[in-house]
A and B are shown apart, each in its own frame.
Chain A
Amino acid sequence: MPTPRTSTTIAATEIRASLGALFLDYLKVSLLGFGGGIVWAHRITVEQRRWVSEAEFADIISFCQFMPGPNIIGIAVCVGAKLRGLQGAIAAFCGFTILPIAIGFWLGVVYLEHTQIPLLQNILGGVSAAASGLLIATGLRLLMRHRTHPVALLFAALAFAGMVWAKLPLLVVLLGLAPFSIAGAAITGAARR
């Protein structure tokens, strides 16, 4: 477990954030950030409040992208933790999720209760088709960064094939490929970039 002492020393060097402000600001991020909350999280945390520096924010993002889970929620948790420890993490997390989950859940249930209506089903079919395409494109865009690294491309392809064609469980794909992929990165020096 990390020592709570570290957080107070870090927080002392930052502009002191109140728990209420963390809660309200992340509530704002959640309401503004229609889908792409990361832009608003940056704008409010770095530019307006100056709670964390540009570099620290970039570092939090790369950490969250590496860690499993909903990345954007990780940003709220990490910013809160950095500024006010556990209480800060909880305040930012609650501000960021409570309202959208409560509203979004009931709104969604109303939709899903009426999918026997052909019009609604047709709309959802279109949305689902487009959203799948957006997801594929997001992955492809990330892949572009590795286009000069055949080992990285190979492992991306293997992970894809393991899920889509072999239909293996995620745990099997990750445990089966990660050791080799990490070894590949070590040998080819991909980590030096």
Chain B
Amino acid sequence: MSDPAAIGVLSGHLALLSSISFGGIPSVLPDIRNFVVTAHGWLTDREFANCFAVAQAIPGPNMILMMSYIGWKVAGFPGAIASAFATFGPPCTMYYSGYRLWDRFREARWQRITRAGIAPLTIGLIIAGGTVMARTADANRQSAAVTGAAAGLLLATRVNPLWMIAAAGMLGGLGFL
């Protein structure tokens, strides 16, 4: 089941994406969906949405788990290991080596300007990640309503998001979606 060429292509692309995932790994979701679903046909939209859902429902580093599920779908256990490493390896190296530099230039004007310039882009990318996942996951009007309700509740109330995830899973399980 494991295909060395596919492992190389997938983990290479993941390593590139994780290195530029400003705003966190969710910002790469649209790109990774295009790559594994549209370009390579390794997963269907539904399988991709399932990997996302399972990772959200399990405690732990969600996005590393999601990428390891995708790696596992593509190329079995070796694929999962390679994908996980490609997802956390480059950023961890950058966190480690970058922190000292950051500390030294914290008050520098160029650093504040760069931060202020990158911030809006990362926000747009996070919303794009959510929108693409919603389009991938929402099979019908009811599930689109669940997406809207979860977004609205998070913005307007202090309800713990875990309850929303649990309630949505229950609605799905009872066949309402």
Contact = CB atoms under 8 A, between A and B. Distances in A.
B54 A159 contact: no
Contacts of A148: none
Given A70-B91, A122-B177, A133-B154, A108 B55 contact: yes
Contacts of A108: 51, 54-55, 58, 65, 68-69
Nearest to B147: A133
Interface in B106-122: 106, 109, 112-122
Nearest to B51: A112
A132 B134 contact: yes
Interface string B112-151: 1111111111111111111111101111000110111111
B120 A155 contact: yes
A69 B73 contact: no
Interface string A153-185: 111111110111001011101100110011111
A180 to B, nearest CB: 8
Given A130-B147, A131-B52, A104 B99 contact: no
Size category, A interface: 35 or more
A128 B137 contact: yes
Contacts of B106: 59
Given A35-B161, A159-B120, A67 B98 contact: yes
B94 interface: yes
B170 A126 contact: yes
Interface of B: 16-28, 30-31, 34, 46-47, 49-65, 68-69, 72-73, 80, 84, 87-88, 90-92, 94-103, 106, 109, 112-134, 136-139, 143-144, 146-152, 154-155, 161-162, 164-165, 167-175, 177
24 contacts: A31-B59, A33-B59, A34-B59, A35-B59, A69-B95, A70-B24, A70-B88, A89-B95, A104-B60, A122-B174, A123-B172, A125-B137, A126-B146, A127-B165, A129-B138, A130-B150, A131-B165, A133-B154, A140-B155, A151-B120, A159-B121, A177-B121, A182-B114, A191-B113
Interface of A: 1-3, 6-7, 30-31, 33-36, 59-60, 62-74, 77-78, 81-82, 86, 89, 93, 96-97, 100-101, 103-105, 107-109, 111-112, 115, 119, 121-143, 146, 149, 151-160, 162-164, 167, 169-171, 173-174, 177-178, 181-186, 190-193
